[in-house]
Amino acid sequence: MVFPDGFLWGAATAGHQVEGNNIASDLWALEHAPGSRFAEPSGDACDHYRLYREDLALLKELGFTSYRFSIEWSRVEPEPGFVSRAAIEHYRDVLTACHEFGLTPMVTLHHFASPKWLPDLGGWEGGETPDRFAAHCRVVLGELGSLIPYVVTINEANIARLTHQMIKDLPARQAADQAPVGADITGALLGADRPKVFLFAFGEAGPDIAKRAHVLARQAIREVSPSTKVGITLALQDYQPAPGTEEVARERWAETFGDYLPTIADDDFLGVQNYTRARVGASPPPEDAERTQMGYEFYPRALENVLRRAATAGLPLFVTEHGVATADDTRRVEFVRQATDGLQRCLADGVDVRGYFYWSALDNYEWMFGYRPKFGLIAVDRATQRRTVKDSARFLGAIAKRNSLS
């Protein structure tokens, strides 16, 4: 029940969800657009931009050995071609603090939010984006690469495909309820006039733009910081087909995983992100099935199944996100317990997993759902920004301290 030496036990965040006041980003603009479908704007979030040392100290005290966070492109380059020295030095301070606290940093260079000027150039369906993103990566790693042992270029590079699958499967009324920025299911969400932000890049060009951006970013990073390990993360569902729908399940796995294998073949690692299973061709889970605050099924065993399938990429794996939104922290403890049991079985069978990052460190801003879903190991009173450590944080931290489940 002991994990390999050097196994990384971490918690993850994303800048837009915890830092607060990411005002130069495209998602900030969408949150404040007339008729926005975002439940609320992100505002000050968890004020992590100011309180990062307090949060890192908590993670260290709890026993974690790593921290995954994002360096926000819109802070570094708020206007095209202008690099903010203040932002670079802020993130240098965050990285230095990680090392001071003994937390191995894993940095994400794009976690859904982009500069607000990017959609005007076509966004994540525009041909300029790969080169512009690679230039951003070159700047960040040129400045900070010596402090960054692991870097993720793009978080969930396949998220638009996965979201599109899920939307198409929803009943029409439910799909309309989940449409962004006041769009209906046949209008801006799936139509030509939808916002060209990363989360909604459903057009034919979107996946290829993301792949190209990753390849160019990887090349730039290796030129300026050759010692930094480079990878990407993919959102992966545990597709479980009903009888007669096996081919549909295979097609969906190919669309969200297999199609990315040529792009990631030269990477140093793959980040696996999973939250539940997907029942293909079957009726929804029964009414008495346990559901999370996000509305999907409580199913931590999906992680083990996905890791075994992702191992076919032939790359070292990190679980870069895995978590549950619940107000009942005892269920978070159980979620982590079942997931880490499955992780241990994968390792025993030779699956090359190098670390586990719970999503998320803090109760944060969950995009269109606002602050209602509680994913965090640490609660945040947003009126006072007071942090309260949950029992689930102590449970996972104790595993990290022992590097063992027993």
Specify the pLDDT at position 194.
62
**382 contacts: CB under 8 Å, gap ≥ 6:** 44, 45, 46, 371
CA 42, CA 364: separation in Å to the nearest integer? 9
Specify the pLDDT at position 268.
99
Those residues of the chain that have pLDDT short of 70 are 168-194
Q: What is the DSSP letter of 82?
A: B
CA 64, CA 60: separation in Å to the nearest integer? 5
With CA atoms as reference, report the closest residue to 336 among 300, 284, 378, 387.
300
Specify the pLDDT at position 286.
75
Specify the pLDDT at position 187.
37
With CA atoms as reference, report the closest residue to 317 among 349, 266, 270, 282.
270
Specify the pLDDT at position 164.
76
Domain with residues 8-402, CATH architecture: Alpha-Beta Barrel (3.20)
DSSP string, 290-358: -B-TTSSB--TTHHHHHHHHHGGG-S-EEEEE-----S-HHHHHHHHHHHHHHHHHHHHTT--EEEEEE
Q: Is 71:14 a contact under the CB 8 Å cutoff? A: no
| 72: phi then psi, degrees, rounded to nearest 5 | -80, 120
Specify the pLDDT at position 354.
98
Domain extent listing, the chain: 8-402
CA 295, CA 300: separation in Å to the nearest integer? 14
Q: Is 210:230 a contact under the CB 8 Å cutoff? A: no
Specify the pLDDT at position 285.
76
Query: Token pair 């061709």 is at which residue?
Result: 281
Query: Token pair 């794996």 is at which residue?
Result: 317
